Amino acid sequence: MRERPVGVDIRLLGGLFLIVGTVDLVIIVLFPAYALKLFGMAVTGPASFLVKLHSPSVHLLIGYGFLWLRPWAWGLSLAYAGFGIVSEAMNQLAFGFHVVRSGFMATTLLFVLYLIWRRRLFVDEPAQESKQKPLSQELL
């Protein structure tokens, strides 16, 4: 019988993050004048290019971490999801209600819940192996 692959769902999400990160980078390069909205402010000007690069950088890092089930990727993805939810909530307050922002916040929250449910895939070593076996009486 063949062994089932571990974490295929998370690895597929990792591939999607790699695609999204690449698309983010292409959009930033093709549309450098786009004013990214972060935390209720529109980031403009020449330095905005560097600020906008955070998005593809983090997406690519999360994608790599998910592909190889790295423990740091779980924490990074939750932190970045929190960053996105707070930023979009502040954008809602500053720029008015928008259905796309609301949809982003709702789907990101569902994604966070899914990642919390799948947390065990990102643990360095299984819990059963980390427990030491008691010494037998013969060895004492």
Whole-model pTM: value is 0.81
Phi, psi of 38 (to 5 degrees): -130, 125
d(CA 56, CA 134): 48
**Start-to-end C-alpha separation, the chain:** 41
Give me the pLDDT at residue 139, please: 56
Please name the residue that has the structure tokens 């070593």. Answer: 125
Render pLDDT for 80-103 as a digit per residue (tens, 0 to 9).
999 999 999 999 999 999 999 999
Phi first, then psi: give them for residue 43, nearest 5 degrees. -85, 115
Kindly report which listed range (71-75, 98-102, 121-125) carries the lowest average pLDDT score: 121-125
C-alpha 43, offset from chain centre: 22
Place of tokens 């076996």: 133
pLDDT of residue 19: 98
Helix (H) or strand (E) holding 42: strand 41-43
Radius of gyration of the chain (CA): 20
Unique residue bearing structure tokens 């643990």: 123
Query: pLDDT category, 125, cuts 50, 70, 90?
Result: low
In terms of DSSP H, where are the helices of the chain? 8-30, 48-52, 54-67, 71-95, 99-117, 127-130
121: three-class secondary structure by DSSP: helix
